[in-house]
Structure 1
Amino acid sequence: MDTTKMIRWLALLSLCISACSTTVNLSCHTYPTPEFRDKCMECSGMKVKAVPKYLPSSLQMLLMTGTAITSVDNTTFERSRLPELKVLYLTAGALTSVGAHAFCSLPALIMLYLDNNRLEILNELSFSCNQKLTTVSLQNNRSLFKLPRLISPSVETLELENCSLTSIDVATVEGMTALKVLSLTGNRGLQCDFVKAQFKQARPDLRVNCEDSAGDTLSSVFPSDEGRTSEKSLYEPHSTINNTKSIIDDEKTTSEKSFTESDFTIKNTKNITSDEKHTSEKSLTESDSAIGKTIKDNTDDIERNETDVIKNKEKDTYANTAPDIWLTAVIVIIIVIPIIIILVDVYRYIYRHRNSVQKSQSDDPSEQPLNEIA
C-alpha cells in the first residue's frame, strides 16, 4: 500500500513538472496589434533557441526578433502547428541558413521577414510550398553573396536591399512566375545599368529597383525643348531694354518731386522718434523682467516633468518585473511542495518498515539468544 502511494506521488510530481514547463513560457507574450489584436505573439531574445511547441493554433502573427535560432528547415514549424499564421518575423537574430520546404507547415503564410540576420545559405525550394506567400524580405543580410534559382508560384515582392550580392541574372527569378517587384538597392557590387537592361529585355513587366534607378532628369529627356527656349531668350532682352528706357525717364522726374516732400516728412518724424525712443527703452526693461520670469517658470516645469518621467519609469519597471517574480514564486511552490510531501512519505514508509522488521525478529523465538532459552 505504501509502495503504491509513493508511486502515485512520483507520477503526480512528473505531471506537475511537465505541466509547468509546457504551459508557462517566460520568453513569449501576447503582442496586441490593430490588425490581429489577440492573435499576435512575440517570442524574442537569445533564450529562444527553437520555435516554441505550444503556441495557440489560432495565431496569425508571430514576432521572433534577436533569437538564437541558426537554421530553419522543414521540421522547424512542424511541431508548432500554426495553420492560420499569416505574418512571420524572424529578424535581427543568428539565422544563417534556410533549408528546402522550410515553411511548408505554414500554409496560410502571406508575409515573411528574415531581415537583419547572418543569412548565408538560401535553398531554391525555401518558399515553393507556400501558395499564398506574396512578400519575402531578406534585407540587411550582409553575408548573402549569391542567390539560387528561387522557385515560387505566388511571391510578388522580393526585397534584397543592403545585402552583398555581386551578380544576379534573369535565371535567378525565372521560377518566380508571379514576381512583380525586385528590390536590389544597396548591393554595391551590382552593375545596376546592366542588371536593369537585362531584366527589361527578358521580363518587361518586372520592376527592378537598383542603385541608379532615379538617375534620369527632365533636362536629358527633353533636350530639344530646352534648346528652343534658350534661343528665344537671347532675343527678348533687347526689346525689353528699349521699353524700360522710357519708363526710367518718367520715373526720374517723379523721384525729384518725392525728395522735396520727403524732407518735410523727415523733420516731422524726428520728434516722433525721440518720444518712441523713451517708450521703447521702458518696454525693453519690462520685457526683460517678463522674459526672466518666463524662463524661470519654464525651467521649473521642465524639472517637474523630468521628476514625473523618472517616477513613471520606476513604476513601469516595477509593474513589469512584479508579475515575473510572482510567476516564478508560484512555479517554485508548485514544484517544491510535492517533493517535500513525497520525501516525508518515503521517510515514514522506511521508518514503519524498519520497526515492523524489528518487531517480527523480537517475536520469533528462534531468533532469541541461547542463554534466554536455557
Structure 2
Amino acid sequence: MSLTSVWCEPDLTAQGRQVGWIRVEHSVHRSAYGTIAIPFAVFANGEGPTILLMAGSHGDEYEGQLALTRLIRSLDVSRIRGRILVLPAANLPAVVAGQRTSPLDGGNLNRSFGDHYTDTPTGQIAAFIAEELMPLCDVMLDLHSGGSSLRHLSCSYADLSCDPAIAARTFAALEAMNAPLSWAQAGIPAAPVAGRAALRKGVMHLSGEFGGGGALNAADLNVAERCIYRLLDHLGILEMAAEWRAEIATRFVFNTQAHFTYAPGEGVFEPLAAPGDVVEKGQAAGWIHRPERPEDAPVALHFASDGIVAVTRAMGRCLPGDCLFHLLEETPRAAVLAGIKALK
C-alpha cells in the first residue's frame, strides 16, 4: 500500500451519509506529522448525477460556507437520488483566519487551478479538488461573495463553455436557479480559476456571488440557499421544499472590462452610487480624497459603461488598482440563447 500527501477519509464509492475530512499533510515545527483537516461530506443514494458543492475558496466569504454547513446538518440522504459532495470550507486555513487567502502560504485557492499546481497547502488542495473530485462529477456549484473588500449583489453565474450542447444545458440550470440576477458568459477567462478546471474535466460549472462586505447577510444567505436547492431539484438529485418553489423575476446580465472602475490613486473612496443603481456611461461615480493632503482637490471618477451597480468597494481606503465598482449590463434572454446557438 502506498501513502499520499492528500487523502480523503470518506469512501467516495459508498452509499449513505458520511461526514469526515480530506487531510493535507502539513509538516511544521509544532507538528511534524500534522495535517490540515478539511471538512468534507458525501451523501449517496442510488443512481443519479454527482454534484460538487463548494464554498470557502476564500475564507472571508461567509454566505456559501453557512449555506453548505446547514445543508450538511439537515440533509436526509434517503431523499436524494445520486451523489452530493460538499466542501463547506475548501481553503480551511483561510476560512479559520477569516481571510481571502491562506495565512500558511498566501494562497488564493480560486487562483490555483492553472496548468500546474504549486507544492504548497493551497496548491495541494486545488490539485485534489481538480484531479480527484471533479472527474467524479457531472456538475459543480462554487459559492462566492464579495469578501471583505467588496459588497456584491446576489447573482448566479454560469460558465457557458464553448460547446453549444454543454452551454445549453448550463444555461437551463442557471435559469432553474432563478436568482435575481442571472449572469451568463460564453466561454471562461484564461485565468487559473476553479471554473477553468471544471470545464477541462468536462464538468458543468455554475457559481454565484452572494453578499460580502466582511459580514454575513441574511437576505444574501437566503438567495444562496435558494439557488442550491433549486439546482438540486433541476438535476433530479433532491426535490426542493415548498419554500423554494415560487418563481421570482430575474434579469439576465453580462460584463466586459469596461464595466469595472478602478482606483487611479490612493485615498479615501467616496461612492456616488450604491448596489442596485442603474447608471450610464460618463455618469459621476465618486471621488477619491486625500485627508493626509487636505489642500489637494479630490479626484473625480466616472463610469465607463452603462449598467447595474453589482459591486461596490466595502473598504473606505483604496490604493491604485483597487476595484471600486463593477457593473453588470442587462441583456434579453433571447440574446443569450442566440449567443449559445452561434457557438462553434
Q: TM-score, normalised by structure 2?
A: 0.23
> Counting strand residues as a fraction of each chain, which structure ranks higher?
2
Q: Say which structure, 1 or 2, has more relative contact order (CA 8 Å, 6+ apart).
A: 2
Q: TM-score, normalised by structure 1?
A: 0.22
